[in-house]
């Protein structure tokens, strides 16, 4: 092609050219748009003039957009009439005619546009890295530079995506959807993960990829027990890696709780050591053997931010695969923007967690605290509006499970706990009543027991005279 191959000095620093720009694709894209002006609307909304590395192509692209906006006819002659010469002094007619003549096929214009856009994003990634490097050399705080850099990477990543992969017609999706229904019908695959508690699974059905399940409760209600129990089940039963972020407990404490839950060894015996009974040791050994091979992963960094959570989660998925993420708990996640109010911080963290679930296509079990509103109610039962710090948590959640145990009743004192499904985007809401086995740090199904209804609790407090089964592991 005879069109000039000049580069300005600042652009030439972005070598190697074979990786960071393609003048051939730029020439062919402009030639295609001149041949078929309808392509200007089809492809132009995905591009900017700055996406073109070659200055002549960038200038011609602006000219084409201006002509199209004014409704003017487009060909090499009309372009030349509108602007006889380009900024470098060349005749517009000669350059445009050469581009049209050498365009391989306007039918491939979409591919030319994809190449131009992705090379442009690659150059901007390098430019952003240069800026970050300079800011660090100038002494700016590392956290500030990394935080703004993370936002820049996410924006560039979105721009670099192939538009054809960002939407599909339903007719393209239907075969895949029917195949999934068929494999689930034949029990060749499952939609997601169960909780191990049939009474709760009756509402949730499955914890699916991309979903955020918020587990909330008052301190000591058992929300950590439920969250860790779900992660254990994913790792032990489904054999999928479960990544648990704990900002409140150490990884040793988490491991001890897993040993108690899996081995049916009292957590108090494990924590004290000296109180271990003879019957505890075989059970502990069995739990160790099970957990030793389980893909259960703990991170106990108390200073963690959402940027760290994203990075660690991506690394785990890339290197080991990833089935589920559990975060304990939202209120302890450090904000990246220190100057914002706590409401705004939690709002942004909640949005980031939802984006992470969709990006990695894994479910996230997010533990959260409640405000004090339930204490002022007669039955003390919480609702999803009691979630602490930000209403965005409720908005982003696919499922909200509220863990409630009324310690003023005999039922609550014996461990009977309500798992209130107060939001369920993909199913019904309701209440599952389960048994909290605090000494084993787990929830199990109620067996052969009578539990009080809401009306009984309200009419007679405290509630007395009922017997409860010991429960069994789900």
Shared domain for 160 and 197, answered yes or no, is no
Distance CA 177, CA 181 (A): 6
CATH number at residue 420: 3.40.50.300
pTM across the whole model: 0.63
Q: How many domains does the chain have?
A: 2
The answer to whether position 169 is within a domain reads: no
Shared domain for 294 and 430, answered yes or no, is yes
Shared domain for 252 and 375, answered yes or no, is yes
The answer to whether position 148 is within a domain reads: yes
Domain coverage including residue 32: 9-164
CATH number at residue 41: 1.10.860.10
* pLDDT at 470 (0 to 100): 39
* pLDDT at 190 (0 to 100): 66
Shared domain for 158 and 255, answered yes or no, is no
* pLDDT at 296 (0 to 100): 93
* pLDDT at 68 (0 to 100): 85
The answer to whether position 444 is within a domain reads: yes
* pLDDT at 466 (0 to 100): 37
Shared domain for 267 and 358, answered yes or no, is yes
64: its two tokens: 């084409």
Shared domain for 200 and 333, answered yes or no, is yes
Shared domain for 215 and 124, answered yes or no, is no
The answer to whether position 470 is within a domain reads: no
Output the CA angle 209-212-216, nearest 5 degrees. Answer: 145
Kindly list the averaged pLDDT for each block of 10 residues, start to end, along the chain of length 474: 40 51 92 91 84 92 89 90 91 92 89 88 84 85 73 60 61 82 74 88 88 89 92 93 92 91 91 89 92 92 86 90 92 75 84 90 92 78 82 87 86 88 90 91 76 41 37 42
Helix (H/G/I), strand (E/B), else coil: 323: coil
Shared domain for 236 and 306, answered yes or no, is yes
Shared domain for 272 and 320, answered yes or no, is yes
Residue 417 burial (CB count, 10 A)? 24
Distance CA 458, CA 378 (A): 8
Taking only the tens place, the pLDDT of each residue in 218-255 is 888 889 999 999 999 999 999 999 999 998 889 999 99
Q: Are 70 and 40 in contact (CB under 8 A)?
A: no
């Amino acid at each position: 092609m005879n069109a000039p191959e000049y580069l300005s000095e600042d652009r030439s620093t972005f070598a190697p050219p074979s990786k960071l720009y393609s003048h051939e694709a730029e020439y062919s894209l402009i030639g295609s748009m001149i041949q078929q002006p309808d392509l200007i609307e089809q492809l132009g909304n995905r591009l900017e003039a700055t996406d073109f590395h070659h200055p002549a192509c960038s200038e011609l692209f602006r000219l084409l957009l201006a002509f199209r906006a004014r409704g003017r006819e487009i060909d090499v002659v009309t372009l030349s009439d509108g602007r006889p010469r380009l900024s470098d002094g060349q005749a517009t007619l000669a350059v445009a005619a050469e581009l049209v003549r050498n365009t391989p096929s306007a039918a491939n214009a979409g591919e030319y546009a994809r190449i131009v856009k992705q090379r442009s994003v690659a150059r901007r990634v390098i430019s952003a890295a240069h800026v970050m490097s300079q800011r660090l050399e100038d002494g700016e705080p590392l956290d500030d530079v990394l935080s703004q850099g993370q936002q820049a990477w996410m924006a560039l990543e979105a721009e670099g995506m192939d538009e054809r992969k960002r939407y599909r017609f339903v007719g393209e999706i239907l075969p895949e959807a029917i195949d999934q229904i068929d494999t689930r019908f034949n029990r060749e695959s499952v939609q997601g993960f169960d909780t191990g508690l049939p009474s709760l699974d009756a509402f949730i059905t499955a914890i699916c990829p991309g979903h955020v399940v918020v587990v909330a409760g008052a301190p000591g209600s058992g929300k950590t027990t439920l969250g860790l129990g779900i992660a254990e089940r994913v790792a032990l039963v489904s054999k999928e890696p479960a990544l648990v972020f704990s900002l409140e407990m150490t990884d040793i404490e988490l491991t001890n709780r897993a040993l108690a839950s899996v081995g049916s060894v009292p957590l108090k015996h494990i924590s004290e050591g000296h109180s271990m009974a003879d019957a505890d040791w075989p059970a502990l050994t069995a739990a160790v053997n099970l957990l030793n091979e389980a893909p259960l992963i703990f991170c106990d960094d108390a200073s963690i931010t959402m940027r760290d959570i994203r990075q660690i989660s991506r690394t785990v998925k890339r290197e080991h695969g990833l089935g589920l993420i559990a975060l304990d708990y939202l209120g302890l996640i450090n904000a990246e923007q220190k100057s914002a109010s706590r409401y705004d911080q939690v709002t942004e963290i909640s949005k980031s967690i939802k984006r992470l679930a969709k990006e990695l296509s894994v479910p996230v079990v997010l533990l959260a605290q409640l405000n004090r509103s339930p204490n002022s109610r007669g039955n003390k039962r919480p609702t999803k509006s009691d979630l602490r710090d930000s209403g965005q948590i409720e908005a982003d959640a696919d499922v909200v499970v509220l863990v409630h145990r009324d310690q003023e009743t005999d039922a609550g004192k014996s461990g009977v706990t309500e798992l209130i499904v107060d939001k369920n985007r993909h199913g019904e809401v309701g209440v599952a009543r389960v048994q909290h086995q605090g000494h084993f740090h787990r929830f199990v199904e109620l067996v052969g027991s009578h539990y009080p209804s809401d009306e009984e609790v309200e009419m007679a407090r405290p509630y007395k005279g009922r017997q409860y089964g010991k429960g069994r592991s789900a």
